Structure 1
Amino acid sequence: QEALSMNGSLLLLAVLALIIPAAASHTGADSNILNLSRYASLVLLLMYGLSLFFQFKTHSHLFDVTSEAEEKEDPKMTTKDAWILLILATVLVGWMAEVLVHSVDAAAEGWGLPTLFIGVILLPFFGNAAEHFTAVLVAGKDKMDLSLAIAIGSSVQIAVFVAPLMVLFAWALGVNLSLEFGILETAATFMSVLVANFILNDGKTNWLEGVMLLACYTILALSFFEV
């Protein structure tokens, strides 16, 4: 419950950092969206670092979702092998991402699908298929804490760590990249986080709430397909 509450709060903070630039750009005022995004990215990265310190250092006992049987398992891979595998996977993922980015427009034209639908719905869905499968698998074993940590934790990483990091990395390279998204993308993100927080905040769930989340996802997918 503590992990779920913290992740939900971090997602709301990330949504705030997305809403303000989007709103400021439509006020007609002379606002510097780029600087606002960069400063907000610094704040988000600071909060992400503090959340890790909170989770793994000062309040680690609140986030322990492993059972005693799991704790006794011996590691199946050495640290050296893990680093080698991580570096190799990073290089391959980077290469595949480069190919993917240059193929989206051609795929959208060939399949007759909107580019926004492919980028927002299809790519995240299939790109995280293994993670989705793992979350469903552990949920089937009645390990809901771990399942929610997998499902929501990745969203927190993207919203509070990866996106701000890309803004600052682009700043260092002299490239203008901000946190300003379109009204539809911003509204969809806000409503997704809001619905998820309302449904999951009590630490309990049932099949109807699961169907509600699927309905929310379907409505958002249709909106990106039809726009």
Structure 2
Amino acid sequence: MYKIFLLMIAVGLPMSILGNVLHWPVVMMFIIFSLTIVALAGYMGRATESIAIHTGPRIGGLINATFGNAVELIIAFFALKAGLITVVLASLTGSVLGNLLLVMGLSFFVGGLKFKRQKFNVFDARHNSGLLVFAVLVAFVIPEVFAQEMGDRDTFTFSVGISVILILLYLAALFFKLVTHRGVYQSDHAEGSGHEDEVAEWGKGKAILILLLATLAVAYVSESLVHTFEEVGEAFGWSELFIGVIIVAIVGNAAEHASAIIMAYKNKMDIAVEIAVGSTLQIAMFVAPVLVLASIFFETQMPLVFTLPELIAMVTAVLLAIVISNDGETNWFEGATILAAYLIMGIGFFFL
């Protein structure tokens, strides 16, 4: 698989540069850009797997989510700069749905096909449940409710205030998990079972270097990808909402998709769940607020106000993820249930 990714990168990056210079057809360039980003994300996932072996499942999962979301943040930043507010908000929605439903669902399903019963840290699951409720049900729904009685200027100012609070709470959550209460809440099974005996494919320095180089390459390709959205949407009959919720989210989160599924297949469920849920929390409590604050410096400001279908979809995804994951164990059927929810929502957004 990684040889294929390497070939895609070796071909895709030069073609991305040539296509930009020679102005190749937009739809063809959209496909080239997307496949190149997916291949780069695959190598980011490979590097973070090595880092996870060196650092442990929590920090490894956090690093994977951070670099995976770096792709999402870069794409969203250039879309925000281009004034595509609908695409940016939709991509944030798609990230929440993609991580909680697609990534988690595929991880549970693929892992469950190999192991009849898989366990993960129930204390982390319950801790993350509270943060998910806060981040989506409180921080995303409340602005929509209050915006009904506010003007545009007040709504944006309110969104800036919420964004600052979200970032501070996210940093506090990291401090709680990684410093003050690290190792306090352990599950009955050994965290990262079999993890200690595994040898990392790459050294920590090499893995971090590859992550940084891949992220820089993704930044270049992502900026070009954003400029294809409008014409590609017209060519395929896709709305900006569908492009943001489904297309951008899948391309932008390819690193987490690959890594979480691989970890689940190896029965490293603590890392798989940390990637899926940790990435969702990072999107809701860090990436979205950063984009709101960044929009202050752009011509078009972005309030933290989503459409009703986006909000209902995110709230449903959070509730379903909490109900299924709160017992600290899973199987393939629960994965199939979560995937079914994602497919239903994807079809709905396609027809909007």
Query: Cα deviation per residue 1:34-74 (whole Å; 9 max; x = unaligned)?
Result: 11111111111111111111111111113784346537746
- Alpha-carbon separation, structure 2, partners of 1:35 and 1:71: 51
Q: Residue 77 of structure 1 aligns with which residue?
A: 203
Contact persistence 2:192–2:270 (CA under 8 A): no
Whichever residue aligns with residue 100 of structure 1, its letter is L
Q: Residue 54 of structure 1 aligns with which residue?
A: 176
Q: Residue 306 of structure 2 aligns with which residue?
A: 181
- Alpha-carbon separation, structure 2, partners of 1:163 and 1:219: 25
Matched, 1:116 2:241: yes
Report the alpha carbon displacement of residue 173 of structure 1 after superposing the two structures with TM.
5.8
Q: Any residues of structure 2 matched to 1:57-136 within 5 Å, and which?
A: 57-61=179-183, 62=185, 65-67=191-193, 69-70=195-196, 73=199, 76-77=202-203, 79=205, 81=206, 84-136=209-261
Contact persistence 1:121–1:221 (CA under 8 A): yes
Whichever residue aligns with residue 239 of structure 2, its letter is P
- Alpha-carbon separation, structure 1, partners of 2:150 and 2:325: 38
Report the alpha carbon displacement of residue 78 of structure 1 after superposing the two structures with TM.
5.1
Report the alpha carbon displacement of residue 131 of structure 1 after superposing the two structures with TM.
2.0
Report the alpha carbon displacement of residue 85 of structure 1 after superposing the two structures with TM.
3.8
Query: Cα deviation per residue 1:68-97 (whole Å; 9 max; x = unaligned)?
Result: 653774683354x55544443333222222
Moved more, 143-152 or 174-183: 174-183
- Alpha-carbon separation, structure 2, partners of 1:74 and 1:205: 27
Whichever residue aligns with residue 57 of structure 1, its letter is V
- Alpha-carbon separation, structure 2, partners of 1:163 and 1:84: 27
Tell me, which stretches of 5 or more residues in structure 2 are unaligned? 1-121
Matched, 1:22 2:144: yes
Moved more, 151-160 or 88-97: 88-97
- Alpha-carbon separation, structure 1, partners of 2:195 and 2:351: 49
Whichever residue aligns with residue 56 of structure 1, its letter is L
Matched, 1:137 2:259: no
Q: Residue 196 of structure 1 aligns with which residue?
A: 321
Match of 1:151 among 264, 276, 280: 276
Moved more, 99-108 or 81-90: 81-90
Whichever residue aligns with residue 173 of structure 2, its letter is S
Contact persistence 1:45–1:164 (CA under 8 A): yes
Match of 1:13 among 129, 134, 141: 134
Whichever residue aligns with residue 145 of structure 1, its letter is D
**Superposition TM-score, scaled by structure 1 size:** 0.87
Cα 1:84–1:171 change in 2 (3 A) is same
SS of alignment partner, residue 60 of structure 1: coil
Contact persistence 1:21–1:180 (CA under 8 A): yes
- Alpha-carbon separation, structure 2, partners of 1:87 and 1:134: 17
Matched, 1:40 2:162: yes
- Alpha-carbon separation, structure 1, partners of 2:238 and 2:294: 31
Moved more, 114-123 or 52-61: 114-123
- Alpha-carbon separation, structure 2, partners of 1:69 and 1:10: 27
- Alpha-carbon separation, structure 2, partners of 1:200 and 1:69: 22
Q: CA RMSD in A?
A: 2.4
